[in-house]
Structure 1
């Protein structure tokens, strides 16, 4: 199930400014390798959120080869810090190369390992935490992330509508985890949550 019409996606994509060669290369790599990225519609939204919140610190639970970090970095001051996490050294090396070309490398602290373990090394508070890890880890990600957000900080989660698979009568383990996560997100008194129905569903929660 497509969350939004492909024609609408094409229309929005056609409105977006072009010209960043690094982003274009990253998007081409994602297509070649069938690697999941937040994409060129969600990317500018992340940059908007970084600017709107005056974000100086971002923690990414799942960074891949740096696509989302690149968008965040463009909305932050040079003194901003982004902690990236991934299990692949190859992804880290690619990310650092791309981010260096964008002039953002001094902002990046890229950690190899399990994001659910790495985040425990930090007390925060962070201005933004992005959650884009293995879906089975989403409920635990919520429990770990929210206490590490400043009040007014944003917890952003990709794939919360999971291409409509959360509606299946016999949900997979991944779908069950997302359903549990969404229940936590909207049931918590610590955040005000919304789901933005772009791409694969973007969960946005503000810590209160």
Structure 2
């Protein structure tokens, strides 16, 4: 990883990612898979957050906390991450990983159905990363719109790997006339939208 990230944290992330890959290779049930973010995509998100100094971040899809660690490190000591996942077991793992990374204090882990959790969030958020149930993302985006900073950045993974599933989200983004949007062919395809 070509970043200024401390080597200890780089090694921890590499270990978490490799463990996640091994776990998924021997797990049949999709809901039990970790499905961790691709390292290249995580690095792009980190660069976006650091270069634009994002501090109030919402992540939909915590899993084992791999991407959450990247987001929290990128946001710095003044940043805060709210991360949602419906699987309590994954949150327990994320909690342990965040503690190992020394970033637990910067993250609030919220367990439950993301759409229902989002209904009760106040924000404001300046960065949102969708990486969970792609079919629910349009409804979640609609609920979040009143709680976003003016210059918010919205990102979503799996644009190229699951085009049919994420089509509704991309249509919802396209309908927002004040947003610029592009898809980066990194990892499984990263959607980036920015309110101009």
Taking structure 2 as the reference length, what is the TM-score of the superposition?
0.86
Count of residues in Structure 1 that have an aligned counterpart in Structure 2: 183
Q: In structure 2, what is the equivalent of residue 68 of structure 1?
A: 67
Larger Rg: 1
Q: Distance in 1 between matches of 2:168 and 2:74?
A: 31
Tell me the secondary structure at the aligned position of residue 75 of structure 2.
coil
In structure 1, the residue matched to 2:156 is 157
Match of 2:133 in 1: 134
Whole-angstrom CA distance in 1 between matches of 2:75 and 2:138:
28
Is 1:207 matched up with 2:195?
yes
Q: Output the CA distance in 2 between the equivalents of 1:201 and 1:74.
A: 22
Deviations 1:127-172 (A, max 9, x none): 1111111122122122123332211111110112225xx3xxxxxx
CA distance, structure 1, for counterparts of residue 122 and residue 178 of structure 2: 17
Equivalent position of 1:3 in the other structure: none
Is the Cα contact below 8 Å between 1:129 and 1:145 reproduced in 2?
no
- Unpaired stretches in structure 2, ≥5 consecutive residues: 25-33
TM-score with structure 1 setting the length: 0.81
**Contact 1:131/1:141, CA 8 A, preserved across alignment:** no
Provide structure 1 residue ranges, at least 5 long, that are not aligned to the other structure: 1-14, 167-174
Whole-angstrom CA distance in 2 between matches of 1:25 and 1:106:
21
Identify the residue that residue 21 of structure 1 maps to in structure 2: 11
Structure 1 pair 38–63 and aligned structure 2 pair: CA distance change class (3 A): same
* Deviation per residue, 1:86-136 (Å, 9 max, x gap): 111111111111111111011011011011111121221111111111122
| Structure 1 residue aligned with 2:76 | 77
Partner SS, residue 182 of structure 1: helix
Separation (CA, whole Å) in 2 of partners of 1:188 and 1:130: 17
1:16 CA displacement: 4.1
Q: Bigger relative contact order, structure 1 or 2, given CA contacts below 8 A and separation 6+? A: 1
SS of alignment partner, residue 122 of structure 1:
coil
Distance 1:52-1:146 versus aligned 2 partners, 3 A rule? farther
What is the SS of the residue equivalent to 1:198? coil
Moved over 6 A (4+): none
Instruction: State the match for 1:55 in structure 2.
Output: 54
